[in-house]
Homo-oligomer: A and B are copies of this chain.
Amino acid sequence: MTKPIAPARAKPSHKARKPEAGYHHGELQEALIAASEAVLAEHGAEGFTLREAARRAGVSPAAPSHHFGNAQGLLTEVAIRGYDALAGALRDAASRRQDAREKLHAQGLAYVEFALKHPGRFQMMFANKRLVADDSRLRQASRAAGREFEIIIAELVGGTPKQAKTAAAAAWSTVHGFAKLALEDKFGSVKSEAGYREIMTTLNHVMNYLWPASSARR
């Protein structure tokens, strides 16, 4: 079933060309990142192996080390892109609404959607032990994603920056916890389409409960 995938390699002359055979790969970084994301999508965070990623990129198991140092380095790059994508999804969701509360709700849905649609990548993003946790670019990307919540929350609650930070921590915790619990089947099976929709409506109820429409809650 999984036989040697045709190696995607760069043509010698100019590295902007289509991939063909050759000792040097040419675009190995990108190929490895893409391969890693594919492995994460298929086998989840626990099922990721460096050798499998290398295999899919058509190179030897030792090749990644020349570009990323080790598996943590490669996964860190994957996580950074994951955070970028997450931040984009959050910004996108908020931008489609007018009301601050609706923006927050949309962000919550987008967050959980992101987690449920890319479970492996999402779990890896929050698996510090498998990443270079103190990588500055990683930390920056993570904080940028968190800031998307803070922006909307500040708009919603007003108050001092400290209050906004608290409220943002609350929002992030809630949606993150919901996503994590959902991924571990605590709210039913995520596998089926019906289960997925049920989970998302549960999330909707949770958001309505914690951030209701009127200013007087409950």
- Per the 8 Å Cβ criterion, residues 166-181 of A in contact with B are 166-167, 169-170, 172-181
Q: Is A92 an interface residue (CB 8 A)?
A: no
Cβ contact within 8 Å between A170 and B133: no
Partner of A209 from the list B44, B170, B178 (CB cut-off 8 Å) is B170
Interface residues of A, dominant DSSP: helix
Q: A133-B185, A218-B215 are in contact. Are A169 and B176 (CB under 8 A)?
A: no
Q: Is A6 an interface residue (CB 8 A)?
A: no
| Chain B residues with CB below 8 A from A205, complex form | 166, 169
Looking at A30-38, A62-70, A122-130, the stretch in contact with chain B turns out to be A122-130
Partner of A142 from the list B46, B176, B186 (CB cut-off 8 Å) is B186
| Chain B residues with CB below 8 A from A169, complex form | 178, 187, 202, 205-206
Copies in the assembly, this chain: 2
Q: Is A21 an interface residue (CB 8 A)?
A: no
Q: Is A14 an interface residue (CB 8 A)?
A: no
Cβ contact within 8 Å between B166 and A172: no
Q: A181-B173, A186-B142 are in contact. Are A166 and B130 (CB under 8 A)?
A: no
Q: Is A96 an interface residue (CB 8 A)?
A: no
Q: Which residues of A contact B (CB under 8 A)?
A: 44, 46-47, 126-130, 133, 142, 146, 157, 163, 166-167, 169-170, 172-181, 184-187, 202, 205-206, 209-210, 215-218
Pairs across A and B, CB under 8 Å, 7 listed = A47-B129, A126-B184, A170-B206, A170-B210, A172-B186, A174-B210, A180-B180
